[in-house]
Amino acid sequence: MTTDFDIIILGSGPGGYVASIRAAQLGMKTAIIEKNNLGGVCLNLGCIPTKSLLNSAKILHYIKKHGKLFGIKSNQIEIDYHKIVTKSKDIVEKMRKGISFLMKKNGIHVIYGNAILKKGKKVEVFKDGKSMKEYSSPNIIISTGAIPKIENKFQYDGKKIVTYKEALSLTSLPKRMIIIGSGSIGLEFAYFYHSMGTDVIIIEICEKLFPSGDHEISDHLKFSFEKMGIKIYTYYSINKVFQEKDSISIEIESLRDKSSVTLTADIVLCSIGIVPNIQSIGLEEIGIQIEKGFIQVDENYRTNINGYYAIGDVIKTPSLAHVASHEAINCVENIKGLNCQKIDYNNIPKCVYSFPEISSVGYTEKESKERGFKIKVAKFPFSSLGRSIADENTEGFIKVIFDNKYDEWLGCHMIGNSVTDLISEVVVARKLEATSYEIMSSVHPHPSLSESILESVSSAYGKSIHNII
């Protein structure tokens, strides 16, 4: 049987398009199938447009808070919300064209339409419900990403009850917004809309804000958000939802004392997570194994059916763009028989781009103790750092956790300005199994934010020069 391509990839997000480029680099005749726009959710509806919005919010926040200190008068600041949203869309379009260029540069065949997997290593492509063509390949990678999870108590309409898709480009600023969930999506939109002047309320069912974070990071974030004026209800469940013509009311109940309160807003953003986007793509027909909504794969991303692979948000690994991209490279290189290094999923950086920013890698303090480690823990505040003081960005700290026995860097957790950039040094250090001594003997530039990493590690061993806590 002749084949159309050496490899076919479903989905062009940060997993799919990276897989296609790496496959082409390795000499494979490559096709990628996309039903919407190149770049997937990350580029079109997630990572990129939200960062543009957040950058506008941070500029506004900084000028309001520190303008006078730097001799900048800012009494009459006007927000052009339409321009802010338009700018984010322009950036998306620019990057989309960039990916399209990379497809052409690498000779990748881009097919637009809905892909349905078929037995015998085939993929049928549909447009407007009509079958267009069937393609065959010995290697098929499923990288169709994820879609928003909807709270079943809400009647999602995309207008009053929205997900991140609609929240990116609301036609006008709501006066009041309720955000359900305080993961990265909820936190970033909470900061953005609050900065734009919306009254924001966050409802979180877990006991702490940002449940996946280290407890001290979560506590500091809650303090910071509440100081801004964002209202937060943690450890509350949703009892009832009342949808009026011009507003939505939600009755919530405290899981601590069973007391209840009713909150009202113009719009509700449901950000309780995402689920794999694997419906109606033919998995059942060819017998690919699914467990708890995720495609099951081995360490080389092979499904239980020979020739079919899966990467990114459709498998049970961290749902992050950079994870999908690395899985894509590893998956393709394994297909080509290359000896690639396995991903260490405990060394994946996780970031939230609100203000203050949050980043982390490795174990939290609680997780370290639960795993039986005897640990050294230390914090270094940005208020002790010369560069932060000069920038008037002294909020937050870096927290480090080391194993007392072997000096292993178990985890690092940051909250403050630009920490989503700082975390990379820690990732590399942990990858190279650097000890505290090696970090402390590495010269960091002064003045710089990176000195905070040197100082935090030094604090764990009583050697910090500038730590004021």
Active site positions, annotated: 446
**Where would I find the beta strands (DSSP E) of 151-218?**
161-162, 176-180, 199-204
Locus of tokens 């726009």: 37
Q: Long-range contacts for 117-122 (Cβ within 8 Å, ≥24 apart)?
A: 117/10, 117/142, 117/281, 117/282, 117/283, 117/285, 117/286, 117/288, 117/308, 118/282, 118/285, 118/286, 119/285, 119/286, 121/3, 121/307, 121/308
Pairing of strands 146-148, 274-276: antiparallel
- The number of beta carbons lying within 10 Å of the beta carbon of residue 167 is 24
Residue 272: DSSP 8-state: S
Give all strands of the β-sheet with 357-362 in edge-to-edge order: 350-352, 357-362, 409-416, 396-403, 375-381
Q: Do residues 95 and 39 touch, judged by C-beta distance below 8 A?
A: yes
Contacts of residue 352, defined as CB under 8 A and 6 or more positions apart, other chains included, come to 184, 187, 188, 210, 358, 359, 420
Please give the sequence-ordered ranges of beta strands (E in DSSP) within 113-271, or none if there are none.
114-118, 122-127, 130-136, 140-142, 146-148, 161-162, 176-180, 199-204, 231-234, 236-243, 248-254, 260-265, 267-270
Please compute Rg for the chain using Cα positions: 24
Q: How far apart are CA 302 and CA 400, in angstroms?
A: 36
List b or e across 62-79, with b for residues whose CB sees 16 or more CB atoms inside 10 angstroms.
beeeeeeeeeeeeeeeee
The two structure tokens encoding residue 390: 């000069």
| CA atoms 273, 279, 285, 286: torsion sign | negative
Q: How far apart are the first and last CA of the chain?
A: 70
Q: Is 305 exposed, middle or buried (0-12, 13-18, 19+ CB in 10 A)?
A: middle
